[in-house]
Each structure stands twice: as C-alpha cells, then as structure tokens.
Amino acid sequence: MAVVDSYLRRNICREEGMEPLFQVPDLHERTQLWESISGYPIPVFIGDLVQWDFVSEVFRKFTPDTIIHYAEQPAAPYSMLNRRAATLTLHNNLMVTANVIFAVQEFCPDAHIVKIGTMGEYGTPNIDIEEGWIEIDHKGRKDKFIFPRQAGSLYHTTKIMDTDLLWFYVRVWGIRVTDLMQGPVYGLITDENEKNDQLFPFFNYDELFGTVINRFIVQAIAGYPLTVYGKGGQTRGYLDIRDTLQCVRLSVENPAEPGELRIFNQFVETFSVNDLAERVRKVADRLGLKVTIQSVENPRKEAEDHYYNPVHTGLLDLGLQPHYLTDDVLAQMIETVLLHKDKINKDIIFKGVKWK
C-alpha cells in the first residue's frame, strides 16, 4: 500500500482561513505513527496528480493492483465561492481522474479503480434513484443507461463528469471501475484510530468544508444556533465513517470485472436537515448544552422539500454491516468535539457563500 497526496485540501482550507478544528499531522508523520502501531509501512508520495510526470513516477515506483481515488477538491460550497475556486475544482478533479485512467492503461491495465463519487450526482429527482443504472422503456423499445444525473453544485457536477469519463474508458479500454456514490460521512473514530487522535480525519466545521452534522455539533457546543438552510426538508443519505471504510474495503476485496463500471449507492440512512437539527438538539440537551435551531435564508439553489428514495442494496449484498446514527453515536461525537471546544473559531461558522 502507498499513499499519494498534494495537500490540496489543507492548502485551500488555509488559504480561505478555514482551518479544521484540530491540526492533523502531515502524511509522513501519520504513516510513521501508523507503522509504529500496526507494523505496516506505507510509502508516501507528495505531488500533484494533475502533472503527468509525477503520476508516471508514482506508478513506476509503486504499481498498484487497486487505486482508491479520492484525489479531488471535495467541497461543494468551495466550488461555488468564486471563479478561481471553480476553475481549480474543475481542472483538478477532471485532470486527476483522466491521469489515473491513463496511468492504469499504461502501467497496470488490470488494476481496479475504486473512485469516490457522490450521491449528489443524482440530485433530487422525482423518481426512485436506482443504483447507478436504469432501464428505460420508451415508445415500445428498451435500453439500459446510467441513471440520469443533475447535481446541485459545481463540485458535484465534476463528479458527474468523472463518471462520464470512467464509463467511456471502461467501454473502450475494458478497465475495471467501482464508482461509489457516497453520501455525507459523519464521525471521527474508527477501530484503527480510536486510541490515537493523531490519526483522526480532518474535522471541518466551517461553511465551506464542513458537512452538516459536523457543523451542527460545533454550533451546539459554541452556543451558535443550528443554521438550517431554508425549509430544511433537504434529504440526503448519510453514513458513519466506519461504514465508509467498510464499503471501500468490500469494493477492493470484490473487484469489478474488466470492462465493468460498477456503481454502488454508498449510504446507510436518509435524514432531512430538520431531522438532523432535531437529533443534535436532543442529544446536546441531554449533555447539558443549550441549543436553538434557526432557519436562515438558503444560500444554495436547491429543492428544500422533495421526494427522495434511493436504492442502496449493493454494498449490503457484499456484506456491509451498517452502523446507525444513534443518540449514543451523536453523543460520542459531541463529547469528542467538546475536548477541542477552546479551538472553535466562531467567525468561520457562517460566511454566506451564495450559489448565485
């Protein structure tokens, strides 16, 4: 196993003044720590996968059987911040995906690409969201297509484009791809890091890089009202960080076939924003925090009240043992974040980045 990073996410968080709640050691430090705990060394390559000379150097030194491709600018609000951020997102995400495909074809054509996509590719259609594919019966004839996609941010749109690109090269070159349509992930603690907070993931709670559960927890602790955008009926599929790891592991252990684009809808439960605000309030109250909920004008352009019924059986069939967002899980997250209460910067909680 090896790891490749350009520190893009760290750099853009710093540029925007939106640092995560606690500092995360760099990859050299984290892999050394991991080796001291587990005995497994992980070579680290630091560089930009947009640059082919770096990509080819990495693939020559470490030719993989599987590529787990997370190398993207992952924040929807950042992608809507301004022209420079939009261009960076589009350029980085597309060119890295292309380079990964070209590297597989050149250096390891049988390797399996496991790509992190997003449930956001589908948007919020008025029909059930199938698992990647749909058979369409039209004027008496039938064909099977990638499920129609219509995303809510530029970031999510780049993920649609990634899928388009992967699907094209799956068909012409016969590469193997699993595209994981992942929902928002919550949680900090896994079996591997529970004894060592130096191995915790980034915990962003700002408007650009923080996801809704993280943000509500920090708001609850900081005495800031939980900011529900608009009506709060926005419903998405969520999963625990431990389930993310399971899903990726299951995908790697059960690879797609050559010439197959396998799509899984990677989430465990759906919640509306109002559901989440209520749950955080309830559990925070139990822990003695005073929490209010406040609807704010929605800075995004999105349906605030919509049908949402996505299928998600593929990963369960592979053996996923789901964790659920129980009150205890929320309480553990709140207690973990409480340890860092003094580091919360209230100025970055809400910035009002508008979609338009």
CB of 91 to its own copies, least distance (A): 7
The two tokens of residue 141 are 């004839």
Which residues have C-beta within 8 Å of that of residue 349, sequence separation ≥ 6? Answer: 205, 206, 207, 215, 218, 219, 222, 224, 227
Q: Which of 46, 258, 307, 313 binds its own copies (CB under 8 A)?
A: 307
* Minimum CB distance to its own copies, residue 158 (Å): 9
- 136 in contact with its own copies (CB under 8 A): yes
Q: Collapsing DSSP states into helix, strand and coil, what is residue 124?
A: coil
CB of 162 or CB of 240, closer to its own copies: 162
Q: Is 7 left (phi over 0), alpha (psi -120 to 50) or beta?
A: left
Establish if 60 lies at the interface with its own copies (CB under 8 A): no
**Active-site residue 118, yes or no?**
yes
Q: How many CB atoms lie within 10 A of CB 67?
A: 21
Minimum Å gap between C-beta 162 and its own copies is: 9
How many of the chain's residues bind its own copies (CB under 8 A)? 48
40 binds its own copies (CB under 8 A): no
Question: Of residues 159, 163, 244, 308, which has the active-site annotation?
Answer: 159
Q: 78, 122, 155, 238: which one is catalytic?
A: 155
Residues between 81 and 110 with contacts to its own copies, criterion CB under 8 A: 83, 86-87, 90-91, 94-95, 98-99, 102, 106
Per-residue burial over 146-182, b if 16 or more Cβ lie within 10 Å, else e, is: bbebebbbbbbbbbbbbbebbbebbeeeebbbbbbbb
Question: 280 Cβ partners below 8 Å, 6+ apart?
Answer: 213, 216, 217, 220, 226, 291, 330, 334
Site for its own copies in 164-223 (CB under 8 A): 164-165, 167-168, 171-174
- Minimum distance from CB of 308 to its own copies (Å)? 12
CB 224 within 8 A of CB 349: yes
Please state the closest distance from residue 23 (CB atom) to its own copies, in A.
Answer: 33
Which member of 145, 288, 290, 297 binds its own copies (CB under 8 A)?
A: 145
User: Is residue 119 a contact partner of residue 265, using CB atoms and an 8 Å limit?
Assistant: yes
The residue written with tokens 């520190």 in the block is 7
Catalytically active residues are: 118, 155, 159
Site of interaction with its own copies (CB under 8 A) = 52, 80, 83, 86-87, 90-91, 94-95, 98-99, 102, 106, 125-128, 134, 136-139, 141-143, 145-146, 148-151, 153-154, 157, 160-161, 164-165, 167-168, 171-174, 301, 307, 355-356
